[in-house]
Structure 1
Amino acid sequence: MTTLLERVRRRYETTEKKCPECGYVDESGNWESRTDGSRIVYRHVCPGCDASREHTFKLA
């Protein structure tokens, strides 16, 4: 059984592979997730140009 957090991260790993900055396609799609208890941040650093992307969700 997977958690909601794992499913959201997997979605980013499978749908957001192309870097909007340089166009590099990261086939491994290594998105990391972290939480501080009030929000969840999903982050990816492009292996091609080191550009960083984040998606943040506030927890209710």
Structure 2
Amino acid sequence: MNNKFMNKVFENNIPAAELLLRIILKNDKIKVKEVKVQNFIQNLYGHSAQMDILAQDDMLILK
């Protein structure tokens, strides 16, 4: 899929991210609190990362 298209689909779209994660992880109890697209996480002590989608639930961060 086109990266720009996927950014628009998931940008601030909690229901879409939640549905995708529930399907991929086969867990219908996932509740997403926040969605960020193309989120860059800088690590001064190792490798940095850029997430296509960063979604956070009540328990952990799903990448």
Higher helix share: 2
What TM-score, normalized by structure 2, do the two folds share? 0.38
What TM-score, normalized by structure 1, do the two folds share? 0.39
